[in-house]
Amino acid sequence: MDNPIRIAVDAMGGDNSPQKVIKGIEIHSSTSTNIFYNIFGNEQIISPLINKTKINNNNFKIFHTENSIKDEDSPLSAAKKGKDSSMWQSIESLKRMESDAIVSAGNTGALFVIAKLNLSMIEGIDKPALSALWPNRNGMNVVLDLGANIECSEKNLVDFSFMGSALHKSLFEKEDAKVALLNIGSEELKGNNIIKNTYQQLNENKNSLFEFKGYIEGNHIMEGDVNVIVTDGFTGNIALKTAEGTANFITSELKSALNSSILGKISTLLNIKNLKRFKKKLDPRLYNGAILLGLDKPVIKSHGSTDEVGFANSLKVCEKIINGKLIDKIKKNII
């Protein structure tokens, strides 16, 4: 392959790994070209799984590791024992410039700590932020921070605005980035001093990367008037979990209602195409792949409980941000 995108894969992290990871690679490799996978994990387990797939032998290399980080490990204990783990080795391959990005479905706290120990921050950025995609009526939102930082300063939130906009432009090149601050109201005087000061700084900062649209309330996140939503990690994580829980509740209640009677089942058959489209819109697997922004290499966190479809989508996110030159965009625009 000519200058392929090299993705480091922690094959041992998350539920049902490495089975779902290998199946995810198979799905991704069937729809993408010029990708090379550096796969880190237990070779005795991984090799038989790969042999059952249609993954081209020229498109991957397995790096055997004895250990893996467990979900119950604390970030500190993971870092202490982790130098021969699949997570540590996959991240270190970025440091050695043997991979262009890393994907892991493993322990989130450990991933953050090991990534920060091995990789440098982009100059001018104080804190990394965890960002992910949420659907809206017109397309997709980039939302950050989703839990990396409980407390944030005005500078952090301004940095998040630039990083989130750079991510949106990398993923959706033809769309204009529109930034809003998540707040308890849309009026300029609402919110705490940090939010108000950030509003003033963003309102006065004219740049070519994004348009600042002011405040947004939680009930307007999905409307699509903005596509980059910025907040601190405490608020963002609660918003994320609330949105996930609401989506699961709506889907399960609708399914229960439609299967509760003969009339409901007939209605399901008559509306099968619309219901499939509705289900797809709310399917979290299709938006899987959170990005730890602020480091000088792309680190992608796949949801630990996702399946092979979700993991394949996290690999697709990886591919898009490399092709979209995410890190270069952040470096060029950060203030």
**pLDDT tens-place values along the chain, 335 residues long:** 678 999 999 999 999 999 999 999 999 999 998 999 999 999 999 999 999 999 999 999 999 998 888 888 888 888 777 788 999 999 999 999 999 999 999 998 899 999 999 999 999 998 999 998 888 888 889 999 888 888 999 999 999 999 999 999 988 888 999 999 999 887 777 778 999 999 999 998 888 889 999 999 988 988 889 999 999 999 988 888 888 787 778 777 777 766 767 765 666 665 666 656 656 666 677 777 789 999 999 999 998 888 999 999 999 999 999 999 999 888 887 76
pLDDT number for residue 263 = 64
Query: In sequence order, what DSSP letters do the residues of 152-174 get, joined into one string?
Result: --HHHHHHHHHHHHHHHHHH-TT
pLDDT number for residue 162 = 94
Cβ count within 10 A of residue 208: 7
Residue-wise pLDDT tens digits, 233-247: 999 888 888 887 877
pLDDT number for residue 287 = 74
The first and second tokens of residue 217, run together, are 């309330």
Measured distance between the N- and C-terminal CA atoms of the chain, rounded to whole angstroms: 37
N residues, the chain: 335
Sign for the CA dihedral angle at 226, 228, 233, 238 comes to positive
pLDDT number for residue 286 = 76
pLDDT number for residue 243 = 80
Rg of the chain over all Cα atoms, to the nearest angstrom: 21
pLDDT number for residue 295 = 94
State the CATH architecture for 1-123+294-335.
3-Layer(aba) Sandwich (3.40)
pLDDT number for residue 1 = 62
The first and second tokens of residue 133, run together, are 């995609």
Q: What is the largest CA-CA distance in the chain?
A: 62
pLDDT number for residue 190 = 77
Distance of alpha carbon 297 from alpha carbon 35, whole angstroms: 17
Residue-wise pLDDT tens digits, 216-275: 998 898 888 999 999 999 998 888 888 878 777 877 777 776 676 776 566 666 566 665
Give Cα 31 distance to the centre of its chain. 20
The first and second tokens of residue 147, run together, are 């839990």
The residues with which 212 forms a beta bridge, in sequence order, are: 179
pLDDT number for residue 293 = 94
* Identical topology for domains 1-123+294-335 and 126-286: yes
Instruction: Tell me the CATH number of domain 126-286, given options 3.40.50.300, 3.40.718.10, 3.40.50.2000, 3.30.70.3400.
Output: 3.40.718.10
Residue-wise pLDDT tens digits, 121-144: 999 998 999 998 888 888 889 999
Sign for the CA dihedral angle at 195, 154, 138, 304 comes to negative
Distance of alpha carbon 93 from alpha carbon 91, whole angstroms: 5
Residue-range domain boundaries for the chain: 1-123+294-335, 126-286
Residue entry with tokens 């819109």: 281
In sequence order, which residues have a C-beta less than 8 Å from that of residue 31 and are 6 or more positions away? 316
Cβ count within 10 A of residue 68: 24
Q: What backbone phi and psi angles, to 5 degrees, belong to 148?
A: -75, -30
104, 302 Cβ separation under 8 angstroms: yes
- Strand locations in the chain (E): 5-10, 35-41, 60-64, 101-104, 129-136, 139-144, 177-182, 210-216, 228-230, 290-293, 299-301
